Amino acid sequence: MVVAAGTRLNLRRANGSSHNGIGGYSSDGDLSRINTSGCFSSVAELDRDPSCVSFTTFNILAPIYKRIDPKNQGLRESDFRSFWLDRNKRILDGLLSESSSIMCLQEFWVENEELVHMYEERLGDAGYYLFKLARTNNRGDGLLTAIHKDCLRVVDYRQLLFNDCGDRVAQLLHVQSVTPFSQNHKGSVSQEFLIVNTHLLFPHDSSLCVVRLNQVYRILQYVELYQRENRLKPMPIILCGDWNGSKRGHVYKFLRSQGFVSSYDIANQYSDGYADCHRWVSHRNHRGNICGVDFIWLCNPNQARKPLKTSWCEAVFSILKFQLGKALLSEDDAFAFLKGDNYADSVTYFSFSEALRQVKLIGVPYGLCFQQLQDLWNQADVDGNGVIDFEEFKKKIWNSTCPEHVLENLNGCMEHGNTGQEEETIGFQVKNAMLYPREAEKGLWPEDYTLSDHARLTAVFSPARMRCSASLNNS
Protein backbone atom coordinates (compact mmCIF):
# COMPACT_ATOMS: atom_id res chain seq x y z
CA MET A 1 0.00 0.00 0.00
CA VAL A 2 1.23 3.46 -0.91
CA VAL A 3 0.35 6.62 0.97
CA ALA A 4 1.47 10.10 0.02
CA ALA A 5 1.13 13.48 1.72
CA GLY A 6 -2.51 14.04 0.84
CA THR A 7 -2.17 12.60 -2.65
CA ARG A 8 -1.84 9.19 -4.25
CA LEU A 9 1.59 8.33 -5.58
CA ASN A 10 1.40 6.93 -9.09
CA LEU A 11 4.00 4.21 -9.55
CA ARG A 12 5.13 3.01 -12.91
CA ARG A 13 6.77 -0.24 -13.79
CA ALA A 14 10.28 -0.08 -15.19
CA ASN A 15 9.96 0.14 -18.95
CA GLY A 16 12.78 -2.15 -20.03
CA SER A 17 15.16 0.64 -20.97
CA SER A 18 18.68 0.63 -19.58
CA HIS A 19 19.35 2.49 -16.35
CA ASN A 20 22.59 3.77 -14.95
CA GLY A 21 23.56 2.03 -11.69
CA ILE A 22 24.64 3.54 -8.38
CA GLY A 23 26.74 1.89 -5.74
CA GLY A 24 28.88 2.31 -2.62
CA TYR A 25 32.66 2.23 -2.83
CA SER A 26 35.27 4.74 -3.83
CA SER A 27 36.47 4.59 -7.41
CA ASP A 28 39.32 2.25 -6.51
CA GLY A 29 36.94 -0.21 -4.86
CA ASP A 30 37.73 0.69 -1.24
CA LEU A 31 35.24 1.82 1.34
CA SER A 32 36.46 4.51 3.69
CA ARG A 33 34.86 6.45 6.53
CA ILE A 34 35.16 10.21 6.30
CA ASN A 35 34.34 10.95 9.94
CA THR A 36 36.20 8.19 11.74
CA SER A 37 35.48 9.64 15.18
CA GLY A 38 31.74 9.20 14.70
CA CYS A 39 31.14 12.18 16.98
CA PHE A 40 27.69 13.25 15.87
CA SER A 41 24.33 12.79 17.53
CA SER A 42 22.23 12.73 14.39
CA VAL A 43 22.64 12.64 10.65
CA ALA A 44 21.08 16.09 10.50
CA GLU A 45 24.25 17.46 12.12
CA LEU A 46 26.45 16.29 9.24
CA ASP A 47 27.52 18.78 6.59
CA ARG A 48 25.69 16.79 3.95
CA ASP A 49 26.37 16.94 0.25
CA PRO A 50 22.99 17.14 -1.55
CA SER A 51 24.00 14.06 -3.53
CA CYS A 52 24.37 11.98 -0.33
CA VAL A 53 21.67 9.49 0.59
CA SER A 54 20.91 8.58 4.20
CA PHE A 55 19.19 5.41 5.38
CA THR A 56 17.57 4.63 8.72
CA THR A 57 16.36 1.20 9.78
CA PHE A 58 14.43 0.78 13.02
CA ASN A 59 12.33 -1.99 14.54
CA ILE A 60 9.89 0.15 16.51
CA LEU A 61 8.41 -2.72 18.57
CA ALA A 62 4.71 -3.08 17.84
CA PRO A 63 2.53 -2.38 20.90
CA ILE A 64 0.91 -5.79 20.46
CA TYR A 65 4.29 -7.34 21.33
CA LYS A 66 5.58 -4.92 23.97
CA ARG A 67 5.29 -6.44 27.44
CA ILE A 68 4.72 -3.93 30.23
CA ASP A 69 4.60 -6.18 33.30
CA PRO A 70 7.20 -8.95 33.83
CA LYS A 71 4.81 -10.69 36.20
CA ASN A 72 1.96 -10.68 33.68
CA GLN A 73 3.31 -11.61 30.25
CA GLY A 74 -0.15 -11.35 28.70
CA LEU A 75 -0.39 -7.64 29.44
CA ARG A 76 0.71 -5.66 26.40
CA GLU A 77 1.18 -1.98 25.63
CA SER A 78 -1.58 -2.16 23.02
CA ASP A 79 -4.09 -2.33 25.89
CA PHE A 80 -3.10 1.17 27.04
CA ARG A 81 -3.61 3.89 24.42
CA SER A 82 -1.70 6.58 26.31
CA PHE A 83 1.37 4.33 26.56
CA TRP A 84 1.71 3.38 22.88
CA LEU A 85 0.63 6.81 21.67
CA ASP A 86 3.28 8.62 23.72
CA ARG A 87 6.05 6.18 22.74
CA ASN A 88 5.28 6.37 19.03
CA LYS A 89 5.14 10.17 19.17
CA ARG A 90 8.67 10.08 20.57
CA ILE A 91 9.72 7.60 17.89
CA LEU A 92 8.44 9.98 15.22
CA ASP A 93 10.21 12.91 16.88
CA GLY A 94 13.49 11.03 16.60
CA LEU A 95 12.90 9.95 13.01
CA LEU A 96 11.96 13.46 11.90
CA SER A 97 14.97 14.90 13.72
CA GLU A 98 17.17 12.41 11.86
CA SER A 99 15.41 13.35 8.62
CA SER A 100 16.92 10.50 6.58
CA SER A 101 16.29 10.19 2.86
CA ILE A 102 14.91 6.69 3.41
CA MET A 103 13.33 5.19 6.55
CA CYS A 104 12.74 1.46 6.87
CA LEU A 105 10.61 0.49 9.86
CA GLN A 106 9.72 -2.98 11.12
CA GLU A 107 6.96 -4.09 13.52
CA PHE A 108 4.79 -1.22 12.33
CA TRP A 109 1.31 -1.65 13.88
CA VAL A 110 -0.62 -1.67 10.62
CA GLU A 111 -3.93 -2.86 12.11
CA ASN A 112 -4.32 0.22 14.34
CA GLU A 113 -5.86 2.99 12.24
CA GLU A 114 -5.05 5.77 14.71
CA LEU A 115 -1.35 4.92 14.81
CA VAL A 116 -1.19 4.50 11.02
CA HIS A 117 -2.87 7.87 10.53
CA MET A 118 -0.40 9.55 12.88
CA TYR A 119 2.57 8.22 10.89
CA GLU A 120 0.93 9.10 7.59
CA GLU A 121 0.17 12.63 8.72
CA ARG A 122 3.49 13.50 10.35
CA LEU A 123 5.77 11.83 7.81
CA GLY A 124 3.57 12.95 4.94
CA ASP A 125 3.68 16.57 6.10
CA ALA A 126 7.48 16.26 6.27
CA GLY A 127 7.61 15.33 2.59
CA TYR A 128 7.72 11.52 2.68
CA TYR A 129 5.92 9.01 0.53
CA LEU A 130 4.90 5.99 2.64
CA PHE A 131 4.74 2.34 1.63
CA LYS A 132 3.25 -0.07 4.14
CA LEU A 133 2.92 -3.82 3.99
CA ALA A 134 1.19 -6.07 6.54
CA ARG A 135 2.44 -9.51 7.43
CA THR A 136 0.29 -12.35 6.15
CA ASN A 137 -2.40 -14.11 8.21
CA ASN A 138 -3.43 -10.87 9.95
CA ARG A 139 -0.48 -10.85 12.35
CA GLY A 140 -1.21 -7.19 13.07
CA ASP A 141 2.20 -5.71 12.32
CA GLY A 142 4.27 -5.23 9.19
CA LEU A 143 6.69 -2.94 7.40
CA LEU A 144 6.73 0.77 6.64
CA THR A 145 9.15 2.39 4.20
CA ALA A 146 9.28 6.17 3.84
CA ILE A 147 10.99 7.89 0.89
CA HIS A 148 11.65 11.63 0.98
CA LYS A 149 10.30 13.13 -2.24
CA ASP A 150 12.87 15.97 -2.23
CA CYS A 151 15.69 13.42 -2.42
CA LEU A 152 14.38 10.49 -4.42
CA ARG A 153 11.82 9.51 -7.03
CA VAL A 154 10.19 6.09 -6.80
CA VAL A 155 10.43 4.22 -10.10
CA ASP A 156 8.73 1.03 -8.93
CA TYR A 157 7.48 -0.72 -5.81
CA ARG A 158 7.01 -4.46 -5.28
CA GLN A 159 5.82 -6.63 -2.41
CA LEU A 160 7.22 -10.04 -1.53
CA LEU A 161 5.14 -12.42 0.61
CA PHE A 162 7.04 -15.44 1.88
CA ASN A 163 3.90 -17.28 3.06
CA ASP A 164 6.05 -19.32 5.41
CA CYS A 165 5.73 -20.34 9.06
CA GLY A 166 6.71 -16.83 10.19
CA ASP A 167 4.32 -14.96 7.87
CA ARG A 168 7.21 -12.66 6.94
CA VAL A 169 7.20 -10.14 4.08
CA ALA A 170 9.58 -7.81 2.27
CA GLN A 171 9.35 -4.61 0.25
CA LEU A 172 11.41 -3.84 -2.86
CA LEU A 173 11.71 -0.25 -4.12
CA HIS A 174 13.50 0.92 -7.22
CA VAL A 175 14.39 4.58 -6.72
CA GLN A 176 16.16 7.36 -8.58
CA SER A 177 17.92 10.37 -7.12
CA VAL A 178 16.44 13.82 -7.70
CA THR A 179 19.87 15.52 -7.65
CA PRO A 180 22.00 14.44 -10.65
CA PHE A 181 25.57 13.28 -10.07
CA SER A 182 28.34 14.51 -12.36
CA GLN A 183 30.23 11.88 -14.33
CA ASN A 184 33.00 14.18 -15.58
CA HIS A 185 32.97 14.43 -19.36
CA LYS A 186 29.90 12.20 -19.57
CA GLY A 187 27.73 14.85 -17.94
CA SER A 188 25.30 14.39 -15.07
CA VAL A 189 23.18 11.33 -14.45
CA SER A 190 20.41 10.46 -12.01
CA GLN A 191 21.46 7.64 -9.73
CA GLU A 192 19.33 4.55 -9.37
CA PHE A 193 19.39 1.80 -6.78
CA LEU A 194 17.26 -0.90 -5.22
CA ILE A 195 16.12 -0.93 -1.58
CA VAL A 196 14.72 -3.88 0.35
CA ASN A 197 13.04 -3.57 3.75
CA THR A 198 12.39 -6.80 5.66
CA HIS A 199 12.14 -8.46 9.07
CA LEU A 200 13.36 -12.05 9.27
CA LEU A 201 11.99 -14.79 11.50
CA PHE A 202 13.32 -14.96 15.07
CA PRO A 203 15.50 -18.09 15.57
CA HIS A 204 13.51 -19.70 18.39
CA ASP A 205 15.65 -22.80 17.86
CA SER A 206 18.39 -23.91 15.48
CA SER A 207 15.95 -25.82 13.27
CA LEU A 208 14.64 -22.46 12.02
CA CYS A 209 18.02 -21.44 10.60
CA VAL A 210 17.09 -22.83 7.20
CA VAL A 211 13.82 -20.84 7.21
CA ARG A 212 15.68 -17.57 7.77
CA LEU A 213 18.25 -18.50 5.14
CA ASN A 214 15.48 -19.26 2.65
CA GLN A 215 13.86 -15.89 3.34
CA VAL A 216 17.07 -14.10 2.34
CA TYR A 217 17.57 -16.46 -0.61
CA ARG A 218 14.10 -15.63 -1.91
CA ILE A 219 14.77 -11.90 -1.53
CA LEU A 220 17.95 -12.11 -3.60
CA GLN A 221 16.25 -14.33 -6.17
CA TYR A 222 13.48 -11.77 -6.49
CA VAL A 223 15.97 -8.92 -6.84
CA GLU A 224 17.79 -10.81 -9.61
CA LEU A 225 14.49 -11.53 -11.37
CA TYR A 226 13.45 -7.88 -11.13
CA GLN A 227 16.75 -6.70 -12.61
CA ARG A 228 16.58 -9.25 -15.41
CA GLU A 229 12.94 -8.65 -16.34
CA ASN A 230 13.49 -4.89 -16.50
CA ARG A 231 16.87 -5.18 -18.25
CA LEU A 232 18.54 -3.02 -15.66
CA LYS A 233 22.21 -2.26 -15.72
CA PRO A 234 24.11 -3.26 -12.55
CA MET A 235 23.12 -0.97 -9.72
CA PRO A 236 23.60 -0.92 -5.96
CA ILE A 237 21.36 -2.99 -3.73
CA ILE A 238 20.66 -1.88 -0.17
CA LEU A 239 19.03 -4.29 2.26
CA CYS A 240 17.61 -2.75 5.45
CA GLY A 241 15.91 -4.34 8.39
CA ASP A 242 15.87 -6.55 11.43
CA TRP A 243 17.73 -9.70 10.42
CA ASN A 244 17.27 -11.46 13.78
CA GLY A 245 20.78 -12.87 13.48
CA SER A 246 24.29 -11.73 14.37
CA LYS A 247 27.60 -11.51 12.53
CA ARG A 248 28.33 -15.10 13.59
CA GLY A 249 25.23 -16.49 11.87
CA HIS A 250 24.55 -18.28 8.60
CA VAL A 251 22.55 -15.41 7.09
CA TYR A 252 25.40 -12.96 7.67
CA LYS A 253 27.94 -15.26 6.00
CA PHE A 254 25.56 -15.91 3.11
CA LEU A 255 25.12 -12.20 2.42
CA ARG A 256 28.87 -11.62 2.66
CA SER A 257 29.41 -14.31 0.04
CA GLN A 258 27.01 -12.39 -2.19
CA GLY A 259 29.14 -9.24 -2.00
CA PHE A 260 27.16 -7.38 0.66
CA VAL A 261 28.90 -5.38 3.38
CA SER A 262 27.54 -4.09 6.67
CA SER A 263 27.58 -0.30 6.44
CA TYR A 264 28.00 0.17 10.19
CA ASP A 265 30.99 -2.18 10.30
CA ILE A 266 32.58 -0.51 7.28
CA ALA A 267 32.12 2.93 8.86
CA ASN A 268 33.83 1.74 12.03
CA GLN A 269 36.45 -0.36 10.21
CA TYR A 270 35.30 -3.54 11.95
CA SER A 271 36.17 -6.91 10.45
CA ASP A 272 34.20 -10.16 10.29
CA GLY A 273 36.51 -11.67 12.89
CA TYR A 274 35.30 -12.89 16.27
CA ALA A 275 36.85 -9.96 18.15
CA ASP A 276 34.72 -7.44 16.24
CA CYS A 277 31.46 -9.41 16.38
CA HIS A 278 30.47 -8.13 19.80
CA ARG A 279 31.67 -4.53 19.67
CA TRP A 280 28.16 -3.23 19.06
CA VAL A 281 24.59 -4.33 19.75
CA SER A 282 21.21 -3.23 18.42
CA HIS A 283 18.65 -5.39 20.21
CA ARG A 284 17.70 -6.71 23.62
CA ASN A 285 15.40 -9.63 22.92
CA HIS A 286 12.59 -11.08 25.02
CA ARG A 287 15.07 -13.47 26.61
CA GLY A 288 17.13 -10.55 27.91
CA ASN A 289 20.06 -11.20 25.57
CA ILE A 290 21.71 -8.27 23.77
CA CYS A 291 23.06 -8.72 20.25
CA GLY A 292 23.64 -6.92 16.96
CA VAL A 293 20.89 -7.92 14.51
CA ASP A 294 19.94 -4.73 12.62
CA PHE A 295 21.83 -4.04 9.40
CA ILE A 296 21.97 -1.72 6.43
CA TRP A 297 23.62 -3.93 3.85
CA LEU A 298 25.25 -2.54 0.71
CA CYS A 299 26.25 -4.36 -2.46
CA ASN A 300 27.91 -2.18 -5.10
CA PRO A 301 27.63 -2.93 -8.81
CA ASN A 302 31.37 -3.66 -9.03
CA GLN A 303 31.38 -6.13 -6.14
CA ALA A 304 32.40 -9.72 -6.81
CA ARG A 305 29.99 -12.46 -5.86
CA LYS A 306 29.43 -16.14 -6.36
CA PRO A 307 26.44 -17.50 -8.26
CA LEU A 308 23.46 -17.17 -5.96
CA LYS A 309 22.56 -20.85 -5.93
CA THR A 310 26.16 -21.85 -5.18
CA SER A 311 26.30 -19.51 -2.18
CA TRP A 312 22.95 -20.78 -0.93
CA CYS A 313 24.07 -24.43 -1.15
CA GLU A 314 27.24 -23.61 0.76
CA ALA A 315 25.17 -21.90 3.45
CA VAL A 316 22.85 -24.91 3.80
CA PHE A 317 25.84 -27.24 4.06
CA SER A 318 27.16 -24.96 6.78
CA ILE A 319 23.88 -25.39 8.67
CA LEU A 320 24.13 -29.17 8.17
CA LYS A 321 27.68 -29.17 9.54
CA PHE A 322 26.52 -27.10 12.52
CA GLN A 323 23.72 -29.56 13.28
CA LEU A 324 26.10 -32.51 13.07
CA GLY A 325 28.63 -30.65 15.20
CA LYS A 326 26.03 -30.28 17.95
CA ALA A 327 26.05 -34.07 18.15
CA LEU A 328 29.85 -33.93 18.50
CA LEU A 329 30.37 -35.84 15.28
CA SER A 330 33.84 -35.85 13.78
CA GLU A 331 34.49 -35.62 10.06
CA ASP A 332 34.52 -39.43 9.71
CA ASP A 333 31.46 -39.85 11.90
CA ALA A 334 29.57 -37.22 9.91
CA PHE A 335 30.37 -39.02 6.65
CA ALA A 336 29.19 -42.31 8.20
CA PHE A 337 25.97 -40.58 9.29
CA LEU A 338 25.31 -39.41 5.74
CA LYS A 339 26.05 -42.91 4.38
CA GLY A 340 23.45 -44.47 6.64
CA ASP A 341 23.07 -48.19 5.99
CA ASN A 342 24.95 -48.06 2.69
CA TYR A 343 27.81 -50.58 2.80
CA ALA A 344 29.75 -48.88 0.02
CA ASP A 345 32.12 -46.06 0.96
CA SER A 346 29.83 -43.39 -0.47
CA VAL A 347 26.63 -41.47 0.16
CA THR A 348 23.61 -42.31 -1.97
CA TYR A 349 20.80 -39.93 -2.78
CA PHE A 350 18.48 -41.93 -0.52
CA SER A 351 20.85 -41.89 2.48
CA PHE A 352 21.57 -38.19 1.88
CA SER A 353 17.84 -37.44 1.96
CA GLU A 354 17.34 -39.50 5.12
CA ALA A 355 20.20 -37.71 6.87
CA LEU A 356 18.73 -34.29 6.03
CA ARG A 357 15.36 -35.53 7.27
CA GLN A 358 16.86 -36.57 10.60
CA VAL A 359 18.40 -33.13 11.18
CA LYS A 360 15.06 -31.54 10.17
CA LEU A 361 16.26 -29.81 7.02
CA ILE A 362 13.59 -31.59 4.98
CA GLY A 363 10.36 -33.39 5.77
CA VAL A 364 9.03 -30.67 8.06
CA PRO A 365 6.55 -27.90 7.18
CA TYR A 366 9.29 -25.27 7.06
CA GLY A 367 12.03 -27.44 5.56
CA LEU A 368 13.66 -27.51 2.15
CA CYS A 369 11.53 -28.34 -0.86
CA PHE A 370 12.24 -31.13 -3.35
CA GLN A 371 13.95 -28.83 -5.87
CA GLN A 372 16.23 -27.42 -3.18
CA LEU A 373 17.20 -30.95 -2.16
CA GLN A 374 18.07 -31.62 -5.81
CA ASP A 375 20.19 -28.44 -5.94
CA LEU A 376 22.12 -29.54 -2.85
CA TRP A 377 22.70 -32.99 -4.26
CA ASN A 378 23.91 -31.65 -7.60
CA GLN A 379 26.30 -29.31 -5.80
CA ALA A 380 27.79 -32.13 -3.72
CA ASP A 381 27.95 -34.80 -6.42
CA VAL A 382 30.76 -33.06 -8.30
CA ASP A 383 31.46 -35.75 -10.89
CA GLY A 384 27.78 -36.55 -11.40
CA ASN A 385 28.20 -40.31 -10.90
CA GLY A 386 25.18 -40.57 -8.60
CA VAL A 387 27.03 -40.89 -5.28
CA ILE A 388 29.07 -38.61 -2.99
CA ASP A 389 32.47 -40.05 -2.08
CA PHE A 390 34.56 -38.97 0.89
CA GLU A 391 36.58 -36.38 -1.05
CA GLU A 392 33.42 -34.76 -2.42
CA PHE A 393 31.96 -34.77 1.08
CA LYS A 394 35.02 -33.01 2.51
CA LYS A 395 35.22 -30.44 -0.28
CA LYS A 396 31.58 -29.59 -0.77
CA ILE A 397 29.96 -30.25 2.60
CA TRP A 398 32.34 -30.49 5.53
CA ASN A 399 34.85 -27.85 4.42
CA SER A 400 32.62 -25.73 2.19
CA THR A 401 33.86 -22.17 2.65
CA CYS A 402 34.07 -18.91 0.75
CA PRO A 403 37.24 -16.96 1.67
CA GLU A 404 36.06 -13.42 2.25
CA HIS A 405 39.37 -11.82 1.25
CA VAL A 406 38.84 -13.24 -2.24
CA LEU A 407 35.43 -11.61 -2.44
CA GLU A 408 36.79 -8.28 -1.24
CA ASN A 409 39.72 -8.10 -3.64
CA LEU A 410 38.16 -9.21 -6.90
CA ASN A 411 36.48 -6.81 -9.30
CA GLY A 412 33.76 -7.97 -11.64
CA CYS A 413 31.35 -10.81 -11.09
CA MET A 414 32.47 -14.38 -10.46
CA GLU A 415 29.13 -15.44 -11.88
CA HIS A 416 30.11 -14.34 -15.36
CA GLY A 417 33.88 -14.22 -15.33
CA ASN A 418 36.09 -11.41 -16.56
CA THR A 419 35.22 -10.40 -20.09
CA GLY A 420 37.64 -7.51 -20.13
CA GLN A 421 34.81 -5.13 -21.03
CA GLU A 422 34.30 -2.46 -18.39
CA GLU A 423 32.20 0.65 -18.10
CA GLU A 424 32.11 3.44 -15.59
CA THR A 425 29.18 3.48 -13.21
CA ILE A 426 28.28 5.16 -9.94
CA GLY A 427 28.49 3.42 -6.62
CA PHE A 428 28.02 4.35 -2.98
CA GLN A 429 30.75 5.06 -0.48
CA VAL A 430 29.89 4.61 3.19
CA LYS A 431 30.38 8.08 4.61
CA ASN A 432 29.24 7.45 8.16
CA ALA A 433 26.98 5.34 10.34
CA MET A 434 25.65 5.52 13.89
CA LEU A 435 23.46 3.73 16.40
CA TYR A 436 21.04 5.33 18.84
CA PRO A 437 21.19 5.01 21.79
CA ARG A 438 24.93 5.61 21.60
CA GLU A 439 25.67 3.05 24.34
CA ALA A 440 24.80 0.36 21.77
CA GLU A 441 27.96 1.31 19.88
CA LYS A 442 29.94 0.11 22.91
CA GLY A 443 28.05 -3.16 23.20
CA LEU A 444 25.92 -1.89 26.09
CA TRP A 445 22.16 -1.55 26.57
CA PRO A 446 20.95 1.40 28.69
CA GLU A 447 18.20 0.55 31.15
CA ASP A 448 16.55 3.96 30.68
CA TYR A 449 16.05 3.46 26.92
CA THR A 450 12.31 2.95 26.37
CA LEU A 451 11.66 3.74 22.69
CA SER A 452 11.99 0.13 21.56
CA ASP A 453 13.85 -3.09 22.20
CA HIS A 454 15.95 -2.21 19.13
CA ALA A 455 18.40 0.59 18.48
CA ARG A 456 17.95 2.93 15.55
CA LEU A 457 20.62 2.48 12.88
CA THR A 458 21.42 5.23 10.38
CA ALA A 459 24.00 5.28 7.60
CA VAL A 460 25.01 7.97 5.12
CA PHE A 461 26.23 7.04 1.64
CA SER A 462 27.90 9.33 -0.87
CA PRO A 463 28.11 8.66 -4.62
CA ALA A 464 31.40 7.44 -6.06
CA ARG A 465 32.51 6.57 -9.58
CA MET A 466 33.76 3.03 -10.16
CA ARG A 467 34.64 0.62 -12.90
CA CYS A 468 32.17 -2.16 -13.46
CA SER A 469 32.16 -5.15 -15.77
CA ALA A 470 29.79 -4.62 -18.68
CA SER A 471 28.56 -8.20 -18.22
CA LEU A 472 27.30 -7.74 -14.69
CA ASN A 473 23.65 -8.10 -15.61
CA ASN A 474 22.17 -11.06 -13.78
CA SER A 475 21.35 -14.01 -15.95
Report the relative pairing of strands 456-469 and 53-59 from DSSP bridges.
Answer: antiparallel
Please tell me whether residues 201 and 71 are part of one structural domain: yes
Whether residues 302 and 317 share a domain: the answer is: no
pTM across the whole model = 0.86
With 90 as the cut, is the pLDDT of residue 409 above it? no
316 and 217 assigned to the same domain: no
Is the pLDDT reported for residue 215 higher than 80? yes
For residue 325, pLDDT over 50 is answered with: yes
| pLDDT tens digits for range 50-62 | 789 999 999 999 9
Do residue 227 and residue 355 come from a single domain? no
pLDDT at 15: 34
Residue 385's SS3 state is: coil
Burial class from Cβ neighbours inside 10 Å (0-12, 13-18, 19+) for residue 425 reads: buried
Instruction: Answer whether residue 36 is part of any domain.
Output: yes
Co-location of 338 and 447 in the same domain: no
Q: What is the pLDDT of residue 2?
A: 53
Confirm whether 407 is domain-assigned.
Answer: no
Taking only the tens place, the pLDDT of each residue in 346-370 is: 999 999 999 999 999 998 888 999 9
Share of the chain above pLDDT 70, in %: 83
Per-residue confidence at 228, pLDDT binned at 50, 70, 90?
A: very high
pLDDT (tens digit, 9 = 90+) per residue, 310-324?
A: 999 999 999 999 989
- How far is the C-alpha of 143 from the C-alpha of 141, rounded, in Å? 7
307 has a pLDDT exceeding 80: yes
Choosing from 401, 431, 447, the residue where a domain stops is 401
- Which residues on adjacent β-strands are paired with residue 145? 104, 131
Q: Which of 428, 424, 427, 404 is nearest to 469 (CA)?
A: 424
Task: Say if residue 345 is in the same domain as residue 216.
Answer: no
Residues 383 and 430 in one domain: no
If asked whether residues 459 and 386 sit together in one domain, one would say no
Which residue did the predictor score with more confidence, 344 or 3? 344
pLDDT digits (tens, 9 = 90+) for 34-46: 333 333 445 555 5
